[in-house]
Structure 1
Amino acid sequence: MAGSQGRGSAGAVVLLGVVLLSIILHSDATIYTVGDQGGWTFNAAAWTQAKRFRSGDQIIFKYSPALHNVVAVDVTGYKTCRVTRGSRFFTSGNDRVILRKGTNYFICSVVGHCAAGMKLAITAI
């Protein structure tokens, strides 16, 4: 019986270690609001200039859900302004996305908005 408790305790210690490591790794993540005070709007691409994004950073899209949305797309969706298979929709008006390593692509899928510049490509290292 004492041996069983020891193994359970070791498992709990390992789990605690994993949780703490996860907190430490994400504690240095930066939180950005897309477009700063202007929020997610047309010509937001300039907002990324002079920023250094890292994998794990969080970006928040703030917008009126009656007027816009955010769709995480692949490079084809970004270039063509079309929603592609596997795209992820956000519609709350206060959407939080964790950046993954590489280039993360976002568009507004409301007709004409992406073509008018409501799209964003963020490269995270």
Structure 2
Amino acid sequence: MEGTKKRVFASSISPTMVFLFLGFAVLLILPMASATRFTVGGNMGWTTNFNYTTWAKGKHFYNGDWLFFVYDRNQQNVLEVNKTDYEACNSDHPLHNWTTGAGRDVVPLNVTRHYYFISGKGFCFGGMKIAVHVENLPPPPKASPIKSFAPTLSSKGHIFLMPIVFAIGAAWDSFIYLW
């Protein structure tokens, strides 16, 4: 009896609803896919005797990225300061205290500008400071014109597209059947 109810429910969902659901899921995932979460210091984390200037060198920080600070919550902290206080390791007047008490703090980089972070309590003098420049994402490259001999979706592209469509449909059908 219960299996009949499940099958009736699954057959009452139209293909349009399936495509709408998948479309919304893709739209929700896309913005998250472009952001990067950087663990400050990599495997070393936010600690003393580490050169964060060298760690940040060569990395591009874009609007929407995140800095993830991992540190000893009983000793260190994460303070955002201005450039003058960064250079002097002055933690008396931070712009923002990102310390949550867990030793796992995430800082959103959602404004295009320079960010300066230090650890107070004297740890800044041991190297616990980092400056990053956040910039906007570069525009995507312009597509080259399609040449007449290049394959398009109307020809060979269906070879790759159709298995994906069938796999999504099979997964959806299994999900509905088990639900």
TM-score (norm 2): 0.53
Asked whether the 8 Å contact 2:79–2:95 carries over to 1, the reply is no
Structure 1 unaligned residues grouped into runs of 5+: 1-19
Q: Does structure 1 residue 93 correspond to structure 2 residue 99?
A: no
Give yes or no for contact 2:38–2:66 (8 Å, CA) kept in 1.
Answer: yes
How far residue 24 of structure 1 moved from its aligned partner, in angstroms, is: 4.4
How many equivalent pairs are there? 105
- Counterpart in the other structure of 1:29: 35
- Structure-1 separation of matches of 2:38 and 2:120: 22
Specify the code of the residue in structure 2 equivalent to 1:107. Answer: I
> Kindly tell me: are residues 118 and 109 of structure 1, through their superposed partners in 2, closer, same or farther at Cα, counting changes over 3 Å?
same
Q: Report the alpha carbon displacement of residue 48 of structure 1 after superposing the two structures with TM.
A: 0.3
Distance 1:55 1:44, change over 3 A: same
Counterpart position of 1:4: none
Q: Which amino acid aligns with 2:112?
A: K
Query: In the superposition, relative to structure 1, how do residues 30 and 81 fare at CA in structure 2: closer, same or farther (>3 Å)?
Result: same
The structure, 1 or 2, with the larger RCO (C-alpha pairs under 8 Å, 6+ apart) is 1
Structure ranking higher in strand proportion: 1
Q: Indicate the residue corresponding to 1:109 in structure 2.
A: 120
The reply to whether residue 57 of structure 1 matches residue 68 of structure 2 is: no
Partner of 1:69: 77
| Separation (CA, whole Å) in 1 of partners of 2:90 and 2:98 | 12
Name structure 2 gaps, 5 residues minimum. 1-26, 136-179
Runs of 4+ in 1 over 3 A off after TM superposition: 23-27
Question: Which has more radius of gyration?
Answer: 2
Query: What is the aligned-residue RMSD (CA, Å)?
Result: 2.1
CA distance in 2, matches of 1:51, 1:122: 9
1:25 offset after TM fit, Å?
4.2
CA shift for structure 1 position 119 = 0.3
SS at match of 2:125: coil
